[in-house]
């Protein structure tokens, strides 16, 4: 069999794979972070929102495990329990976290301003909408219902525990979206995310990637907090997030998904010139 390695996909984007919290819903990505703070508090361990945000994008068990390895949090755990946080402890925090997350996910899951309009603009162009998340399926089932009531119904939803290989930063959820939507080429797919593991996921899948610097985990502000800032303060708040997402390899960094349609047009122009992700 002879393979044509010179072949280049030069057609349009046919699939965009969105993250959920901080990307399409929950402007400041508070649903996962605040509930993690609450879950650790149930074990007598205080963690801050900033600490909870550190490993964002990972599957939630992995996220809790990563928090337990943070030196300051590990020290608090040892002071409380006289030992390091082990896998059984991670299991216990995760089991406490899950019902809290299911119960509270709706409190923080309003659509990000401009997100529904951006998705509608993509659909007009014939682009299919994939989605994946660090949330497990039991949380996603609740979030899917809430999002549908607001008008967001992606073509596929992949939860972090749907696939045996695992979640981010591996490529599996993004590639599963590609399969579900029937995309013709990884170069015809764009992964949009507010976290470094989410960008790494898209890159590992061979897709174009777009990072978000104002909405989501890196800036960590509510919509009201964001809009209360001056343009200069907004730029200063976004700058560390922009730098972090670019260092992770993101092809583009924009503030919110409201800006995405223009980026899609630019990517399609690059594809027409024979460029690849």
Q: Phi then psi for 60, rounded to 5 degrees?
A: -65, -35
**Residues annotated as catalytic (active site), given as ranges:** 19, 60
- Dihedral of the CA atoms 167, 168, 170, 171 (nearest 10)? 90
Terminal Cα distance for the chain, rounded: 26
Residues 6+ apart with CB under 8 A from 62: 55, 166, 167
Q: Give a three-class secondary structure readout of the chain.
A: CCCCCCCCCCCCCCEEEECCECCCECCCCHHHHHHHHHHHHCCCCCCCHHHHHCCCCCCHHHHHHHHHHCHHHHHHHHHHHCCCCCHHHHHHHHHHHHHHHHHHHHHHCCECCCHHHHHHHHHHCCCEEEEECCCCHHHHHHHHHHHHHHCCCCCEEECCCCCCCCCCCCCHHHHHHHHHHCCCCHHHEEEEECCHHHHHHHHHCCCEEEEECCCCCCCCCCHHHHHHCCHHHHHHHHHHHHHHHHHCCCCEEECCHHHHHHHHHHHHHHHHCCCCC
d(CA 73, CA 76): 5
């Amino acid at each position: 069999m002879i393979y044509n390695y010179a072949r280049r996909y030069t057609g349009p984007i046919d699939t965009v794979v969105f993250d959920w919290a901080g990307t399409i819903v929950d402007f400041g990505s508070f649903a996962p972070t605040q509930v993690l703070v609450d879950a650790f508090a149930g074990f007598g361990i205080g963690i801050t929102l900033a600490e909870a945000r550190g490993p964002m994008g990972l599957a939630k068990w992995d996220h809790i495990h990563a928090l337990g390895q943070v030196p300051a949090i590990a020290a608090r755990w040892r002071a409380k329990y006289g030992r390091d946080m082990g896998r059984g402890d991670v299991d216990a925090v995760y089991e406490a976290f899950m019902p809290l997350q299911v119960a509270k996910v709706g409190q923080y899951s309003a659509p990000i301003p401009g997100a529904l309009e951006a998705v509608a603009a993509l659909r007009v162009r014939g682009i299919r909408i994939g989605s994946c998340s660090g949330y497990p399926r039991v949380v996603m089932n609740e979030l899917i219902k809430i999002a549908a009531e607001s008008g967001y119904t992606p073509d596929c939803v992949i939860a972090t525990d749907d696939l045996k290989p695992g979640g981010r930063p591996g490529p599996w959820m993004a590639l599963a979206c590609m399969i579900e939507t029937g995309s013709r080429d990884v170069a015809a797919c764009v992964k949009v995310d507010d976290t470094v593991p989410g960008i790494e996921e898209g890159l590992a899948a061979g897709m174009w990637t777009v990072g978000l610097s104002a909405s989501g985990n890196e800036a960590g502000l509510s919509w009201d907090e964001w809009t209360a800032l001056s343009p200069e303060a907004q730029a200063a708040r976004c700058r560390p997030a922009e730098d972090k997402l670019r260092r992770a390899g993101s092809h583009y960094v924009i503030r919110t998904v409201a800006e995405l349609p223009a980026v899609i047009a630019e990517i399609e122009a690059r594809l027409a010139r024979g460029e690849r992700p």
